[in-house]
Structure 1
Amino acid sequence: MKFFKKAAIVASSLLCAVALAACGNSKSSKDSDAYTPKKLTVQFVPSSNATTIEAKAKPLEKLLKKELGIPVKVSVSTDYNTIVEAMGSKKVDIGFLPPDAYVLAHKQNGVKVLLQAQRLNVEGADNHSGNKKVDYYRSQILVRKDSGIKSIKDLKGKKIAVQDTTSTAGWIYPVVEMYKHGVNINKDNIQTVQVKGHDQGVLSVYNKNTDAAFVFQSAENLVKKDAPDIHDKVVPIYTTKKIPNDTISVRGDMSSKWQKKIAKAFKDIAKTKKGHDIISSVYSHEGYADSKDSNFDIIREYDKTAEKLDK
């Protein structure tokens, strides 16, 4: 009986070894079958004038090529939904996705978040930059100072400039927090006007084309050159809770090796003067930190509330 017991143990051990080897080969095979880029397509979404952003972001091509050793093409998407679809159809490898667009891209196409942007904190009535790097930002509802609009309830029956419905600061957060304050943007005689870029939202209020605008906090600073008196004319009536900062995300089938290379490249570029100047001018990014999908569960909670708006 002892012999048979020993034989069974040996056989069992051999089977385990074979199974483990198979599992190891399967994992290695899986990564070897993963997408390994020969060239990279990087796409941004327009938070302000799309042409200006593309011109500012283009120099990243050379910096990334130097870090990664393959050609890189940088472009700007027409809107948030377009970049989500492009990553799903594998036309775009890397997307600078705002939080809600990332959540959508992850759900629909398995897009993976690599990094989260760091920005300087915002302080004071004029929304000037502080000196502390943070991984969040906020949305604000802006109105003209002379409009008579003092609170969210005063927005009933008004015209509001908004961004795409997947824009976290330009739609999701402000409409959800309005809803929590008893104002439904779809049912309280509110007219929405979709504009492209938070700078256009600010200017629509400044020029009296709309009564209010949903923008990210400090968006007024985007137009100070053209409207030096912007802080005298346009003021926030509401500031939302914290929103996780923008992501650098990659298509879901990319190899883990290349995910790590890309994450390292962006972090290293952000530490150089030239690289920092580019990311700061494009999105006010100060650097990048490693991120994970669970950081965006708060966005999923807001999305669930947003779904109630039509009910």
Structure 2
Amino acid sequence: MKKTATLLSLILMFSVLTGCSGKNAEQSTGDSKTIETLSIQFVPSRNPDDIVTQTEPLKEILTKKLADEGYTVQNIDISVGTNYEATGEALSAGSVDIGFIPGGTYVLYDDAAEVILTATRDGLSVDSDEPIEWNKNKPTTLDENNQVTFYRALILAGPSEKGQELSAKINNGEKLTWDDLNSAKWSVMSSSSPAGYIYPTLWLQDNYEKSITDLTTTVQSDSYGSAMARLASGQVDVLVGFADVRNDYAENWQSDWNRASTIWDETNVIGVTDKIYNDTISVSKNSKIMTDEFKEALIKAFIEIGNTEEGKEIISIYSHTGYEKADSKNYDSEREAQELLKSLKSN
């Protein structure tokens, strides 16, 4: 009897221990991985204050989505780079974990940045190589039923006397000469901006065998907001930017910059670039928290965010409507553009 009781006790103890260890293993497997701070930086293609305000809700929604993937994120830090290169440098240094950057900036820093997502956006009511077609069919509207992974850059002439002179020539069916363009004051973005520098340079090269560096007067703007303000005031005659930039600043044109007429009345397209592959969400290869597993969690989280109404409102600051998994090869055209720019600068 004693032996039997002892044996039963041992079996009972083993069962209890096994049950406890099984429960502990389950808890350990389900334990969330903790990230102290996740840093996200945006490029200043819109007014930095507007970007910070509109993306503030991203902290809560991204925290929840990552929690679903098993990650506890204690703090999300959102900032805006002083220019495109500043965000590229921050990704390279690992001081920023995630960057919302254009394809051109990604390519410039792809030794230390990895693209994980490509943005989708609404197509536009006009998509023509001919400037006059954009001017005949104003205003340009967004088409929610046409989701695209590309955009174009436009060369826009403003309300200044020189800007109107260039517009009149285009709308009369005339071709602008290099002297026409070189006599104008141009607003450009930093040299890694696809729409604000790279593709307009390629357009000048294709049409005039010139580049932005050949222009007599250029002003580098830190954001499209400041660039559009200069165009409205007549400080510059020509602006280069993404094709729906006027949609973003149509209200500011009259309310903030005191123009009597609308942005559509006072600006015209004088040049259209080739298609540009969409913006990216890229991550730092030098970030201490950026494991393969975490990258997959981020990909899933941002795709899901882009599919919600709240998420769409947040990312609309960049005219993004959602995200799809990226392939670095899709940005080979950007790499070719960068190589051409390097060769132009070295000549």
Q: TM-score range by the shorter chain?
A: 0.7 to 0.9
1:54 CA displacement: 0.8
Asked if residue 194 in structure 1 is aligned to residue 229 in structure 2, the reply is no
Alignment of 1:249 with 2:282, yes or no, is yes
Structure-2 residue corresponding to 1:293 = 328
| Per-residue deviation, 1:199 | 3.0
Instruction: State the distance in 2 between where 1:261 and 1:152 align.
Output: 52
TM-score, structure 1 as length reference: 0.83
Match of 1:77 among 56, 61, 81: 81
| Cα RMSD (Å) | 1.9
Residues 1:120 and 2:122 are matched in the alignment: yes
Conservation of the 8 A alpha-carbon contact between 2:94 and 2:285: no
Do residues 51 (structure 1) and 86 (structure 2) align?
no
Q: CA deviation at 1:152?
A: 6.1
Partner of 2:297: 261
Contact 2:40 2:78 in 1 (8 A): yes
How far apart in 2 are the matches of 1:263 and 1:123?
30
| Amino acid paired to 1:143 | A
Shift of 1:309: 2.8
| 2:186 match | 160
What's the CA shift string for 1:32-55, capped at 9, x where partnerless? xxxx95431111111111111111
Give the structure 1 partner of residue 148 of structure 2: 134
Structure 2 residue identity aligned to 1:288: Y
Q: Is the 8 A contact 2:197 2:212 kept in 1?
A: no
Residue 147 (str. 1) matches residue 159 (str. 2): no
User: TM-score normalized by structure 2?
Assistant: 0.75
**One-letter identity of the residue aligned with 1:130:** D
The one-letter code sitting in structure 2 at the alignment partner of 1:81 is E
Separation in 2, partners of 1:200, 1:139 = 17
Give CA deviations for 1:14-35 in whole Å, capped at 9, x if unaligned: xxxxxxxxxxxxxxxxxxxxxx
Who is 2:264 aligned against? 231
Q: 1:242 to 1:91 in 2, by over 3 A?
A: same
- 3-state SS, counterpart of residue 241 of structure 1: strand
**Which shifted more, 60-69 or 91-100?**
60-69
Q: Which amino acid aligns with 2:148?
A: V
2:190 alignment partner, SS class: coil
Change (3 A) 1:37 1:103: farther
- Provide the residue aligned with 1:5 in structure 2: none
- Could you tell me which runs of 5 or more consecutive residues in structure 2 were left unpaired when the two chains were aligned: 1-33, 67-71, 127-136, 171-175, 255-261
Farther-moved stretch of structure 1 (78-87 vs 179-188): 179-188
Secondary structure of the 1:64 match is helix
Paired residue secondary structure (2:226): helix
The number of equivalent residue pairs is 274
Higher Cα Rg: structure 1 or 2? 2
Contact 1:157 1:190 in 2 (8 A): yes
Structure 1: give runs of 5+ residues left out of the alignment. Answer: 1-35
1:273 shift after superposition? 1.4
2:44 maps to a residue whose letter is: P
When residues 106 and 223 of structure 1 are mapped into structure 2, their CA distance, relative to the original with a 3 A threshold, is: same
How far, CA to CA, are the matches of 1:277 and 1:304 in structure 2?
36
Task: Give the letter for the 2:236 counterpart.
Answer: T
